[in-house]
Amino acid sequence: MSSNPLDPAFIARQKERLLELRRQLVSVGNAAGSDEQAWQASAGGEPQDEGDDGNRFAQQENDEAVLAHSEGRLDAIDRALEKIAEGTYGFSDESDEPIPRARLEAVPESILTVEESEIRERNARRGL
C-alpha cells in the first residue's frame, strides 16, 4: 500500500463525522427500542382487531429492516474508525486500492471502492 494521500486534517474531520454518525445511529436505535417497549406495554390487555395486527406486523417488518441497515452501517463506521487508528483509512479492505476522496466525503464509512461495493451488492442479491 502506498502512503496515504489524505491529509491529517481531512482524516480528523472524517473521524469527527464518523463519531457523530455513530452517535445518531445509536440514538435512533435506542429510540426504536423504547417505542417497541411502550407499544407492548400499552397493548397488554387491549383487544385488537385484524387490521391492527396487519398494520403492526407491517410496521415491525419495516422497523426490523431499518434496524438491520443501521447495524450494518454501525459495523462499517466502527471499521472505518479502526482504519483511522491503524493508519489505513482511505484504502480498500479488499484490494488496498485508494478510495477516492469524493467517495469518502459522500460516505465517510466507506471501506471499499465503488466497484467493490457494487460487486458485493450484486453477489448478495444473488445469494453468493
Q: CA dihedral defined by 78, 84, 90, 95, rounded to 10 degrees?
A: -70
pLDDT at res. 114: 94
**Grid cell at residue 15:** 473521524
Q: If you compute the radius of gyration of the chain from its CA atoms, what whole number of angstroms results? A: 20
Question: 8 or 124, which is more confident?
Answer: 8
Question: 15 or 128, which is more confident?
Answer: 15
Single pTM value for the model: 0.72
Is residue 6 within 8 A of residue 89, CB to CB? The reply is yes
Inform me whether the pLDDT recorded for 91 exceeds 90: yes
